[in-house]
Structure 1
Amino acid sequence: MLPPILQNLRIPVVASPMFIVSGPDLVIAQCKAGIVGSFPALNAREKDGDPIQLEAWLTRITEELDRHNQANPDRPAAPFAVNQIVHRSNARLERDIEICHRHRVPIWITSLGARTEVNAAAHDCGAIALHDIINNVFAKKAIEKGADGLIAVAAGAGGHAGPQSPFALIQEIRDWFNGPLLLSGAIATGRAILAARAMGADLAYIGSPFIATEEANAPAEYKDMIVESDAMDIVTSSLFTGVSGNYLAPSIRNAGLDPEALAHADASSMDFGQGSSKPKAWSTIWGSGQGIGAVREIQPAGQLVDRLAGEYAAAKAELSSM
């Protein structure tokens, strides 16, 4: 059974935290629309001497969602989540954990390393901790270290996607784990959400379609490229961060590179000291999952959730009638 905080969503969806793209505007819109909104803590950056941006973001999100709930008791907002990059090069990790603990962030998403003390901090403020993994070995380690749930990042997902089929990954995890399980990987329609649940996942984990929303903190060219591209335009490469990830081929060409002849990079090159493992030289190389063929326009995030909800209901009705 899902923990109470994940039980009353409009549709079984968590919006994934996307580097740069996910910020307060997008998170608030996602939560008001009835799905879990999220952002990476490292997206909240400030110059030396300025007030801490993460504090301001958490205060704004909490206050706006509280106002929404008071004005709309019949359709309260979904909870929100903050993503912590648990990598040895993230010098901000301890500070950001303390801030999230103090603000009682309800859902913590951890990536690139499972650590017992991070999960303990989440539990200490009443939160749940979800850890993203790309295979069954990492899944077992995450649960052993205190994670409450898992995010299975399968082939076709945006960002640092795993190589395994969602069918294989979900069935191996469900063979031993009956806790909260999310699935990421090319999910961009209501039918895909229902398919993820039929496969054994509790919730779908959706990122790339939200890049093409009005609230996303992405350049107009990036949003347009999402709308204009499809699965054939996605290239998998380790060059840009040191870990295999999925990227838009047109953005690679625009940077003067051949998407079909990219060099490889080693994971040792990952460094989150500046907020991202991606060097500034690759700042216009844009990530995306394979599901973007379903994205046909730039629209408000709430309208995207409306479409997903309608498709999800229609897919359930269609299957029930068969």
Structure 2
Amino acid sequence: MTLPTQLANLRIPVIGSPLFIISNPDLVIAQCKAGIVGAFPALNAREKEGEPILLEAWLKRITEELDRHNQANPDTPAAPFAVNQIVHRSNERLERDLEICAKWKVPIWITSLGARVEVNEAAHSCGGITLHDIINNRFAKKAIEKGADGLIAVAAGAGGHAGAQSPFALVNEIREWFDGPVALSGAIANGKSILAAQAMGADLAYIGSPFIATDEANAQPEYKQMIVESGAEDIVYSNLFTGVHGNYLKPSIARAGMDPDNLEDSDPSKMNFGADREKPKSWKEIWGAGQGIGAVTGITPAAQLVDRLAVEYADARQELCGG
């Protein structure tokens, strides 16, 4: 298929996944200038009561900086950016944030934890496309039925909220009926994995955890260093912390005084993404990451990470495909 314009001319077929708390304008702008889609969750832009709306300020800055870059570099323009909307009923900001994103003509909308027709319509009203993240084929069909343009297949090993299915199984089932844009998430941290995602039927790779260990990321230095020092065996899969299963760093759980190998289950009905949500103070520094972090060997600028991925991807294509 022909990809939508927003996804068709990237330097490498990669979307930088929106990282809760961590993704900010600095990281998004660096990713886009380096040639991949940069993304952030709308809920990361959180102002105090009485202050100007921070999401508006972030979108203004990102839009204007990328416009200036494109004017100065017409032969190597920046990639478009994306905003992630949490569609769960507990997100009382959703309607306001949709209006702001439509106003600023956000080119790519990533939706999570619920597929809703009105969200897709808001994106389409300003010329944007929607990519809905899913963990199984049933959710994928619901998303497309409700008007999403593409899918993000969140397979086993992905950081943050992740599914448990093999990427081979998940992508194969989706491709039996859907020929639109598909990005694959799940332990993708080098150029060979990007090519592998395409080989199994995805159009793009969806990469998050390696960008935690970048200079621009809004993560504590200890968090970044833990990413560098950890590998797949240091990841635990649990729904305790948000009500939705996700992957987390075992050392951060142990440091909070819990046994990462014996975590209790949470009640998904208590999932809350509203401003009034509370969680134990001991959970403040429990950090998410995917199983691909063994490929992360140092803390670098985001552009340098993209350069590495681009070189590895080109080398993998040359080795396997002869071009």
- The alignment's TM-score, normalised by the length of structure 1, stands at 0.98
Q: CA deviation at 1:280?
A: 4.9
Q: Please say if residues 82 and 105 of structure 1, whose CA atoms lie closer than 8 Å, have aligned partners that are also in contact.
A: yes
Helix, strand or coil for the counterpart of 1:132?
strand
Task: Show the counterpart of 1:157.
Answer: 158
Distance 2:30 2:81 in 1: 11
Name the residue aligned to 1:174.
Answer: 175
TM-score of the superposition, structure 2-length normalised? 0.98
Question: Residue 85 of structure 2 aligns to a residue in which SS?
Answer: strand
| 1:246 Cα offset (Å) | 0.3
Q: Tell me the equivalent position of 2:295.
A: 294
Q: Which amino acid aligns with 2:264?
A: A
Q: Match for 2:247: what amino acid?
A: N
- Aligned residue in 2 for 1:313: 314
Q: Note if contact 1:42-1:275 (Cα within 8 Å) is conserved in structure 2.
A: no
How far off its partner does 1:281 sit? 4.1
Identity across the alignment (%): 76
3-state SS, counterpart of residue 169 of structure 1: helix
Aligned positions of 1:6-21 closer than 5 A: 6-21=7-22
Aligned to 1:42: 43
Task: Give distance in 1, aligned partners of 2:52 and 2:173.
Answer: 45
**2:263 partner letter:** L
Structure 1 SS opposite 2:147: coil
Whether the 8 Å contact between 2:244 and 2:268 is mirrored in structure 1 is yes
Matching of residues 1-322 of structure 1 within 5 Å: 1-274=2-275, 280-321=281-322
Q: Are the aligned partners of 2:185 and 2:205 in contact in 1 as well (CA < 8 Å)?
A: yes
SS of residue in 1 equivalent to 2:100: helix
Distance 1:278 1:190, change over 3 A: farther
Q: Distance in 1 between matches of 2:17 and 2:74?
A: 26
Cα deviations by residue, 1:289-308 (Å, 9 ceiling, x for unpaired)? 00000000000000000000
Do 2:197 and 2:204's aligned partners in 1 also have CA atoms closer than 8 Å?
A: yes
Q: Are residues 25 and 128 of structure 1, via their aligned partners in 2, closer, same or farther at CA, if it must alter by over 3 Å?
A: same
Larger deviation, residues 268-277 vs 131-140: 268-277
Give the partner amino acid of 1:297: G
Tell me the amino acid that sits aligned with residue 177 of structure 2.
Answer: W
Runs of 4+ in 1 over 6 A off after TM superposition: none
Q: Distance in 1 between matches of 2:92 and 2:273?
A: 8
> For the residues of structure 2 that align with 1:159 and 1:218, how far apart are their CA atoms?
14
Residues of 2 paired with 1:308 and 1:169: CA distance? 24
Query: Could you tell me whether the CA contact under 8 Å between 1:270 and 1:277 is conserved in 2?
Result: no
Contact kept? 2:112, 2:133, Cα under 8 Å: yes
Cα deviation, 1:229-284, whole Å, max 9, x if unaligned, reads 00000001111111111000000011011111111101112101128786554120
Secondary structure in 1 matching 2:263: coil
Give yes or no for contact 1:101–1:122 (8 Å, CA) kept in 2.
yes
Determine the C-alpha separation between the residues in 1 that align with 2:219 and 2:65: 22
Shift of residue 221, structure 1, vs aligned partner = 0.3
Give 3-state SS (helix, strand or coil) of 1:50's partner: coil
C-alpha distance 270-280 of structure 1, shift in aligned 2 (>3 A): farther
How far, CA to CA, are the matches of 1:167 and 1:237 in structure 2? 22
Distance 1:275 1:310, change over 3 A: farther
Listed as ranges, the gaps of 5+ residues in structure 2 are none
| Unpaired stretches in structure 1, ≥5 consecutive residues | none
Distance in 2 of aligned mates of 1:173 and 1:304? 30
CA root-mean-square deviation: 1.2
Contact 2:256 2:282 in 1 (8 A): no
Give the superposition deviation at 1:12: 0.1
